[in-house]
A = this chain, B = another copy of it.
Amino acid sequence: MTLLDSLFRYEPVTKLFADTACLQAMLDFEATLARAESAAGAIPSSAASAIAAKCRAELFDTQKLIEDAALGGNLAIPLVQQLRNLVAAQDEDAANFVHWGATSQDVIDSSLALRVRKALQLIQADAATLCNALATLADHHRATPIVGRTLMQHAVPTTLGMKFAGWLDALGRHCDRLRETHERCLVLQFGGAVGTLASLSSHAQTVAKNLSVELQLPLPQIPWHSHRDRLAEIATTLGLLTGTLGKIASDIALHAQTEIAEIHEPAEQGRGASSTMPHKRNPLACAAILSAATRVPGLVSTMLSAMPQQHERGLGGWHAEWETLPQIVCLTAGALHQLAHITPKLELDISRMQQNLEASKGLIFAEAITAALGQKIPRSAARQLIDDAVNHAVKENTHLRKVLEQEKSITQHFSPAQLDHLFDPRNYSGSASRNIDDVIAAHKSRRPAD
């Protein structure tokens, strides 16, 4: 798919998983392997040079690779064969040392790790950018009143900064997870046919170490051909992140509804235009992010379902990962990039937020007033009194304040100025500012992604 996925794409990441990059990463592995083996004395240095010279993607016949991969069962088999032929044309002896001691899965898994590493770095950078933007927004709007909504209904007031702080708080945890996953899960795969590297005999350890150092992929305690928890963790870590991105996009889209209109994606030339309705400005970044949040969970379940791989190499399970993990990486990177792009430019309509606080005709302040009244008369009586007033206001479709103003048991305790105070959302933000401080402090103390 090329045309259809354009909405979801973050080019620097998607191109890591395009054919050319895939091919070149595999060839990088083969060239590095030859050098590592030469340095270890396992193969002649002339062979290493001859092999490395041919490890350039543009020398390969892609169409034939595709056809032969279908016959061989994976891409490494025809790739190694073509590489051998290319080398043999120059140096017949060197051709024997192509892919020496390695198995198909070594090159496929390691070259995947190389590319996922780059993708994670880009993802971590975007996550950091997004967090910084949210910290600024949370700080700036710490006291801006907005309706708090639960179960998609008005509840009590909160602040816009609390919303941003909640987003930031979750994203901070995702930054931690990304770092842990990056450290734990991107390691070298190198084990030969069944993981023992037996065909390399005494050279095995040195070759493995050299290869690990050159590729900058840490050497694991043991090859992991049929233990896929590392790759599956990359999937779950990104799945968790995409879930939070989906939550944020869902919030933005809800705030952007025509009748609510509190938050909008930034207006940009041509962006979100409708083909037939000139007045529409569609929340396109939200569409892309929500789409990713809808797709990634199923893909993560595929990665988990594929984990029970048989014996020393799985039949079907391994193959199921090939397209699935790159899709998860690309969808997450695309969704994150969209959000990092729009967040600093979100259009915030503060006056509309104020206006919507009035949409329930004062009912949103019922809890605050009950609490205040409960300080003056027994709480159960306070609750009963306000419940009655609320019911009255609903029945008459009038503003709660109007009802209360006519209620002696209220006016004897609250002056008009005090009622003003109670019906002002700025006076009912509780711990919001404190929470925002704590979230921002945690954000600042978080060590930057490597």
**Of residues 404 to 427 in A, which have CB atoms within 8 Å of B's CB atoms?**
none
A17-25, A28-36, A117-125, A210-218 - interface stretch: A17-25
A-B contact pairs, 21 of them (CB 8 A): A3-B66, A6-B69, A97-B379, A148-B312, A149-B312, A150-B274, A150-B280, A152-B283, A153-B283, A155-B194, A165-B222, A173-B184, A193-B367, A195-B435, A196-B432, A204-B431, A227-B244, A258-B356, A278-B387, A288-B319, A293-B307
Chain B residue nearest to A276 (CB atoms) is B193
0/1 interface trace, chain A 10-53, chain B, CB 8 Å (1 if under): 00000001010011000000000000000000000000000000
Partner of A287, one of B151, B297, B442: B151
| Residue of A148, A288, A298 with most chain B CB atoms under a 10 A cut-off | A298
Say if the beta carbon of A130 comes within 8 Å of chain B.
no
Q: How far is the CB of A26 from chain B (nearest CB, A)?
A: 9
0/1 interface trace, chain A 219-230, chain B, CB 8 Å (1 if under): 011111111111
Q: How far is the CA of A367 from the CA of B364 in the complex (A)?
A: 37
Cβ–Cβ contact B320 & A222, under 8 A: no
Q: How far is the CA of A359 from the CA of B258 in the complex (A)?
A: 7
Q: How far is the CA of A165 from the CA of B222 in the complex (A)?
A: 8
Cβ–Cβ contact B300 & A316, under 8 A: no
**Of residues 321 to 335 in A, which have CB atoms within 8 Å of B's CB atoms?**
322-324, 326
Cβ–Cβ contact A194 & B150, under 8 A: yes
Known contacts A19-B2, A97-B379; is A363 also within 8 Å of B279 by CB? yes
Say if the beta carbon of A9 comes within 8 Å of chain B.
yes
Known contacts A162-B196, A244-B229; is A308 also within 8 Å of B320 by CB? no
Cβ–Cβ contact B429 & A198, under 8 A: yes
Cβ–Cβ contact A278 & B390, under 8 A: yes
Say if the beta carbon of A430 comes within 8 Å of chain B.
yes
Say if the beta carbon of A144 comes within 8 Å of chain B.
no
Q: How far is the CA of A170 from the CA of B287 in the complex (A)?
A: 24
Q: How far is the CA of A301 from the CA of B274 in the complex (A)?
A: 30
Q: How far is the CA of A293 from the CA of B307 in the complex (A)?
A: 9
Count of chain A residues with Cβ under 8 Å from any Cβ of B? Answer: 190
Cβ–Cβ contact A289 & B316, under 8 A: yes
Say if the beta carbon of A7 comes within 8 Å of chain B.
yes
Cβ–Cβ contact A290 & B313, under 8 A: no
4 more contacts with CB within 8 A, not counting A71-B269, A300-B301, are A2-B19, A151-B283, A288-B316, A297-B304
> How many copies of the chain does the oligomer comprise?
4
Known contacts A95-B380, A195-B162, A308-B247; is A253 also within 8 Å of B315 by CB? yes
Q: How far is the CB of A134 from chain B (nearest CB, A)?
A: 12
Known contacts A290-B315, A307-B247; is A275 also within 8 Å of B200 by CB? no
Residues of B within 8 A of A90 (CB): none
Cβ–Cβ contact A366 & B279, under 8 A: yes
Q: How far is the CB of A385 from chain B (nearest CB, A)?
A: 11
Say if the beta carbon of A176 comes within 8 Å of chain B.
yes
Cβ–Cβ contact A155 & B193, under 8 A: yes
Cβ–Cβ contact B431 & A196, under 8 A: yes
Say if the beta carbon of A186 comes within 8 Å of chain B.
no
**Of residues 175 to 206 in A, which have CB atoms within 8 Å of B's CB atoms?**
176-177, 180, 184, 192-201, 204-205
Cβ–Cβ contact B229 & A233, under 8 A: no
Say if the beta carbon of A299 comes within 8 Å of chain B.
yes
Residues of B within 8 A of A237 (CB): 236
Say if the beta carbon of A133 comes within 8 Å of chain B.
no
Cβ–Cβ contact B75 & A280, under 8 A: no
Known contacts A173-B184, A243-B308, A356-B259; is A386 also within 8 Å of B278 by CB? yes
Residues of B within 8 A of A450 (CB): none
Cβ–Cβ contact B5 & A174, under 8 A: no
Residues of B within 8 A of A295 (CB): 302, 320, 323-324
Cβ–Cβ contact B6 & A194, under 8 A: no
Q: How far is the CA of A150 from the CA of B201 in the complex (A)?
A: 20
Q: How far is the CA of A7 from the CA of B66 in the complex (A)?
A: 8
Q: How far is the CB of A189 from chain B (nearest CB, A)?
A: 13
Q: How far is the CA of A304 from the CA of B300 in the complex (A)?
A: 9
Say if the beta carbon of A449 comes within 8 Å of chain B.
no
Cβ–Cβ contact A196 & B430, under 8 A: yes
Say if the beta carbon of A306 comes within 8 Å of chain B.
yes
